Amino acid sequence: MNSSYCAKIKEKHMKFNTKTIHGGQQNIDPAYGSVMPPIYQTSTYAQTTPGGHKGFEYSRSGNPTRSALESALASIENGEFGIAFGSGLAAIDAVLKLLKAGDEVISTNDLYGGTYRLFTKIFEGFGIKFHFVNMENTNKIEEYINSNTKLIWVETPTNPMMKIIDIKAVATIAKKHNVLLGVDNTFTTPYLQQPLDLGADIVMHSATKYLGGHSDVLLGALIVKDSELANKLYFVQKASGAVCGPQDSFLVLRGLKTLHVRMQRHCENGRTVAEYLAQHQKIERVYWPGFENHPNHNIAREQMKDFGGMISFETKGNSFERAIRIVESLKVFTLAESLGGVESLAGHPASMTHASISKDERDKIGIVDSLIRLSVGIEDVEDLIEDLKQAIG
Ligand SMILES: *Cc1c(COP(=O)(O)O)cnc(C)c1O
């Protein structure tokens, strides 16, 4: 089946795996018929008369390669509009710019560190008030809602404790109080979870992770259904200017085309690694939403297609030094920040991503000294198990 044939299939009849390859990609390049969208490495576009252009005037407000990516993203998240940015944080920054001083935001409490920093160190200074709430029990949320509440911001599963939040239940609360609901879908991707279908207003991605999938690009995105909301966000994109370049847009477009096959393997390998760790004598606890005794496992089953390749675990005795020795001795897993690439990565939250939080605070939320976080890649799983076996000893 070639892409011109697929382009004729009504988009909404396409299944997910077809959408990752063809979704939003209606036009075969009119110049030379190139199958992949060209990288339009240009800042500006010739006009025949003032205003006489082909839809693009200046690359901050629009670029054809970025547009191709934006419509692909809208397609795979079952949205109408995609808005792409230079990084995941730039995308969240654009959402917060819909608010004004005096407005309030309710957010998950064990939030991605960079998001927490953006909220507390930048936007609190502009007069926006944040409430960080454990949303595992969604009943708690309403206690924080008042007439100033404008946005609920959710991450699920959370990082690194893999807490599961019921998106549908939060969406019901948000609708009841006429508050926007944004979901950071970086950990799951639309292959596993589609928040717009569950009632969210905005889906956000750090495409740096699974969507790009090859640890070679930074990019962020928002996807929405409502055209008024989309127009406000396109305005921020143009007015604040945190856009991604055409080369980076191309890399994420290329990544998207294999998202479904990569995610399938991430999930398979994730399950095998989680089960291996769970039966290991020297492991105290494994956090992975696929376990039946994981808190809110039933919600994960309902809102996710599978359980992903992100796993955290603690070794017995809770030794900081021992955790460091383990991550240093891994050979197939690379010790690095980030996640979602084809290669397996390991991290030590207490000394890396969450080092800026005090030990007391870390212990309270479960980020103990021995906690290690894995982003399980798509290598042969036997090699990953062998690597963990030699490192844990
Ligand atoms: C990485 C990440 C971000 C930030 O994205 P960048 O592309 O690094 O700016 C936001 N949320 C989550 C869950 C992430 O993992």
171 shares its domain with 295? no
Lowest mean pLDDT among 97-101, 158-162, 233-237, 289-293: 158-162
Residue ranges around ligand 1 (CB below 6 Å)? 87-89, 112, 114-115, 155, 159, 184, 186-187, 206, 208-209, 218, 220
Catalytic residue numbers? Answer: 60, 112, 184, 209
Please state the atom number of ligand 1 nearest to the C-alpha of residue 219: 7
Instruction: Check pLDDT > 50 for residue 6.
Output: no
Which of 118, 206, 338 for mutating ligand 1's site (highest number of atoms within 8 Å of CB)? Answer: 206
Please state the atom number of ligand 1 nearest to the C-alpha of residue 89: 9
250 shares its domain with 263? no
Write down the mean pLDDT value for the chain.
94
Residue 316's domain is classified under what CATH number? 3.90.1150.10
Tens-place pLDDT, residues 153-200: 999 999 899 999 999 999 999 999 999 999 999 999 999 999 999 999
Instruction: Check pLDDT > 90 for residue 245.
Output: yes
Please state the atom number of ligand 1 nearest to the C-alpha of residue 220: 7
Instruction: Check pLDDT > 60 for residue 327.
Output: yes
Domain boundary among 204, 231, 256: 256
pLDDT value of residue 7? 46
8 shares its domain with 156? yes
Residue 92's domain is classified under what CATH number? 3.40.640.10
174 shares its domain with 114? yes
Task: Please tell me the distance between residue 339's alpha carbon and the centre of ligand 1 in angstroms.
Answer: 9
Smallest CA separation from ligand 1 atom 6, residue: 88
Percentage of the residues of the chain whose pLDDT score is greater than 70: 97
Q: Give the residue, 74 or 12, on which the prediction is more confident.
A: 74
SS3 string, the chain, reads: CCHHHHHHCCHHHCCHHHHHHHCCCCCCCCCCCCCCCCCCCCCECCCCCCCCCCCCCECCCCCHHHHHHHHHHHHHCCCCEEEEECCHHHHHHHHHCCCCCCCEEEEECCCCHHHHHHHHHHHHHHCCEEEEECCCCHHHHHHHCCCCEEEEEEECCCCCCCCCCCHHHHHHHHHHCCCEEEEECCCCHHHHCCCCCCCCCEEEEECCCCCCCCCCCCCEEEEECCHHHHHHHHHHHHHHCCCCCHHHHHHHHHHHCCHHHHHHHHHHHHHHHHHHHHCCCCEEEEECCCCCCCCCHHHHHHHCCCCCCEEEEEECCCCHHHHHHHHHHCCCCEECCCCCCCCCEEECCCCCCCCCCCHHHHHHHCCCCCCEEEECCCCCHHHHHHHHHHHHC
pLDDT value of residue 355? 84
Q: How many domains does the chain have?
A: 2
89 shares its domain with 238? yes
234 shares its domain with 291? no
pLDDT value of residue 8? 46
188 shares its domain with 266? no
Smallest CA separation from ligand 1 atom 4, residue: 88
Mean pLDDT along residues 354-371: 88
Domain boundary among 200, 233, 256: 256
Label residue 1 by pLDDT band (50, 70, 90).
very low
192 shares its domain with 313? no
Instruction: Check pLDDT > 60 for residue 5.
Output: no
12 shares its domain with 119? yes
Domain boundary among 226, 256, 286: 256
178 shares its domain with 210? yes
Instruction: Check pLDDT > 70 for residue 387.
Output: yes
**Domain span holding position 333:** 259-392
81 shares its domain with 120? yes
88 shares its domain with 111? yes
Task: Please tell me the distance between residue 246's alpha carbon and the centre of ligand 1 in angstroms.
Answer: 20
Tens-place pLDDT, residues 114-128: 999 999 999 999 999
